[in-house]
Chains A and B, each alone.
Chain A
Amino acid sequence: MKKLVTNWNNYPVVEADEITFEYGGELTYKLNGHPTIAHGNGRCYGDASLSESVISTLRFNKILSFDLNEGVVICQSGVLLSELLQIIVPHGWFLPVTPGTKFITIGGAVASDIHGKNHHVDGSFSRHMQWMNVLTGTGQTLTASRHENEDLFWATCGGMGLTGVILEVCFQLKKINTSYIRQKQIKAENLDEVMVLFAEHSDYTYSVAWIDCLKSGDQFGRSILMLGEHATAEELGTKKEKLSPKEKAILSVPFHFPSFVLNELSVKAFNAMYYAKNYRKIMDSIVHYDGFFYPLDSIMNWNRIYGRKGFVQYQFVLPLKESKEGLKNIIKRISKMGMGSFLAVLKLFGEQDDLISFPMEGYTLALDFPMRPGLAEFLDDLDEVVADYGGRIYLSKDARMKKEVFWDTYANAPQFKEILKKYDPDNRFVSELSKRLKLKD
């Protein structure tokens, strides 16, 4: 049966057949020869998991093993991070890497090779993986790791599902003593200052900044840097339960807002934070991990505030050397156009040398653009600028980049394509993204 399938930003929307499955063997005979792609919880911002036929992994969601002493988990790819947290946190374990939402699947985490606020210390998700099973385009289910079918492993981490369907995944968790974070917030007057602060605090496990892209002059790039460490039992004191997961959807955005409401809302939120709560230069606090990592998860369906037309997320990274000049240039363009969300997320990545994953050492900036006329041209220009600085764009947030930009900026793209050819010679796994970027032919 055809149904409408889209991702978190409501753009694009495709009509697709949906296949569901509960165990790997079932999938082999359900694949009907139509080009298809795995689809998790639909939290990416693009077309990577859209195709004329999609394989929903949401029923393939069992946890197969959890070693309480070693913190090693084996689970099926449809398990959500939110479900894992409920199980692992009470035993003193945490996700090794987490993005800004817990409502993604493990399969999605692998396919996007997700990064988090600790990238400069812990790398991306793949660094913590031991092995996985992949149903490849040849119809075989193969185990892939750093020692076995290595090429498949590296092309699947960050490979946007194009090697096949990720089935079981084994990975290492991170030990914690409490479910709280010792947080430090530092107010930075401008971009120069926040970049100095990032460098000075690089020994913090978690760091990220909210940056205002609209201010000019002395306040150009004013931001709030947020740093965090897992709190120890002593730091927590006796007030709180030490290891409690929590998961409450507090608010829900019930309908699609008209787009103009958005900027006003986020401006208010940021100003409130910048001027009121953060009235001091440095603020220290102990906060629950849920609020620290997943501030937007408490507002169910926050994506709807962008209205029915949807929005585009734009996330790029620039090499460290070029970051300062590049960020200035790009933020100026955004503020001049007045069409970006004025609030963006800034983060300093550490080194990464995977085959096709997004991160590289340098600064990454992520922001939302509500859909509107002229946006496509503007972002095409921005792509050129990013490419000229030697940067690149995150595929999990992309629905529009031109293929030339991709092939220019992902140095290992030819090698990636070769591996795809080996494991999917008949192009059974095809997405809107792979068509757009000419990754399969």
Chain B
Amino acid sequence: MSKNALILGATSDMALAIARKFGTQGYTLTLAARNLEKLQVIKADIEIRQRAKVEIARFDAMEIANHQEFYNQLPVKPDIVFCVFGFLGDQTKAQYDWKMCEEILVSNYVGAVSILNIIANDMEARKQGTIVGISSVAGERGRQSNYIYGSAKAGFTAYLSGLRNRLCKSGVHVLTVKPGFVKTRMLDGMKTPGPLTAQPQEVAEDIYNAVANKKNTIYTRGVWRLVMYTIKSIPEPIFKKMKL
């Protein structure tokens, strides 16, 4: 029987690239997102291009009360889950408007913890599975331009690391993915430096290899490890005065 991949936040460009990659490799796919109209279209397209079997399900990271129900109703339990959803939001607005702030925190952190708790427990019981969390380099050090998003991703990174520590005894693999810039809808209208910007397909390739090689944490593109090392090594008295 072929393996099943559950993709949470499946309507994003990054998720689509992941779905295509794993679909091509013979996985059946369960695509979950909050917009069913978009999901229908993506399902048709992947079935035609990748000849993969695709199921779709409605999932909203913010609707925490429904997460258990969502998972219970899945016809097949996943061998691998990708937690891809996320929300960059508006930093300035979030500083004054709790609704925006909360949406950022829940979409990037609280919602992810809620659904992954459920899935982790199931995988631990089954003693198998892979959990892939898409965090961000933004979680490595808070910067004035996006520290609310960054702090949520920092929380998510710490969560994944703890989860890995817990689940390695049960044979469950946890992979933390830290993208730098990825050319997706999230960066629409932003100009980012070419060498630091990955296409979603590259990210999907990197993730596929990291899953196959049971990696713990990857940066994608790989140069971001170096970039972040440098940024993290700037002493705080200097860092706090920088325009970042």
Chain A positions within 8 Å of B, measured between CB atoms, are 1, 18, 20, 22-23, 25, 59, 62-66, 76, 83, 87
Which residues on the A side are within 8 Å of B37 (C-beta)?
23, 25
Residues of B near A64 (CB, < 8 A) are 41, 44-45
Give 8 nearest A-B pairs by CB, closest first: A62-B45, A1-B189, A63-B48, A62-B41, A64-B44, A66-B48, A63-B45, A23-B38
**Chain B contact residue count (CB 8 A cutoff):** 12
Chain A contacts for B49, CB-based, 8 A: 63, 83, 87
Chain B, range 35-90, C-beta contacts under 8 Å to A: 37-38, 41-42, 44-45, 48-49
Q: How far is the CB of B224 from chain A (nearest CB, A)?
A: 25
**B188 within 8 A of partner (CB):** yes
Chain B minimum-CB-distance residue to A26: B38
CB-based contact B41/A23 at 8 Å: yes
Q: How far is the CB of A18 from chain B (nearest CB, A)?
A: 8
Instruction: Report the Cα distance A18→B190, complex, angstroms.
Output: 12
Q: Which residue of A lies closest to B189 (CB)?
A: A1
- Report the minimal beta-carbon distance from A150 to chain B, rounded to whole angstroms: 27
Please name 20 pairs of A and B residues whose Cβ atoms are closer than 8 Å in the assembled complex, sorted by A: A20-B185, A22-B11, A22-B38, A22-B185, A23-B37, A23-B41, A25-B37, A59-B185, A62-B42, A62-B44, A63-B44, A63-B45, A63-B48, A64-B44, A64-B45, A65-B48, A66-B48, A76-B41, A87-B48, A87-B49
Q: Which residues of A contact B45 (CB under 8 A)?
A: 62-64
What is the CB-to-nearest-CB distance from B87 to chain A, in angstroms, rounded to a whole number?
A: 16
The chain A residue with its CB closest to the CB of B45 is A62
Q: Tell me, rounded to whole Å, the shortest Cβ–Cβ distance linking A93 to chain B.
A: 12
- Give the residues in chain A near B185, CB-CB below 8 Å: 20, 22, 59
Given A63-B45, A83-B49, 13 more A-B residue pairs with CB atoms under 8 Å apart are A20-B188, A22-B11, A22-B38, A23-B41, A25-B37, A62-B41, A62-B42, A62-B44, A62-B45, A63-B49, A64-B45, A66-B48, A87-B49
Q: Complex Cα distance A168/B122, Å? A: 42
Of chain B, the residue at the smallest CB distance from A83 is: B49
Residues of B18-45 contacting chain A, CB below 8 A: 37-38, 41-42, 44-45
The complex places the Cα of A83 from the Cα of B50 at a distance, in Å, of 12
Minimum CB–CB distance for A252 against chain B, Å: 15
How far is it, in angstroms, between the C-alpha of A23 and the C-alpha of B11 when the chains are bound?
A: 11
B147 CB → nearest A CB, Å? 24
The complex places the Cα of A83 from the Cα of B41 at a distance, in Å, of: 17
> CB-nearest residue of chain A relative to B49?
A87
Query: Which A residues are in CB contact (< 8 Å) with B38?
Result: 22-23
Smallest Cβ distance from B241 to chain A, in angstroms? 29
CA distance A49 to B44 in the complex (A): 29
Which chain B residues numbered 178 to 202 have a C-beta less than 8 Å away from chain A?
185, 188-189
When distances are taken between beta carbons in the complex, the residues of chain B under 8 Å from A63 are 44-45, 48-49
A5: min CB distance to chain B, Å:
14
How many Å from the CB of B28 to the closest CB on chain A?
19
The complex places the Cα of A1 from the Cα of B189 at a distance, in Å, of: 6
Q: Which residues of B contact A25 (CB under 8 A)?
A: 37
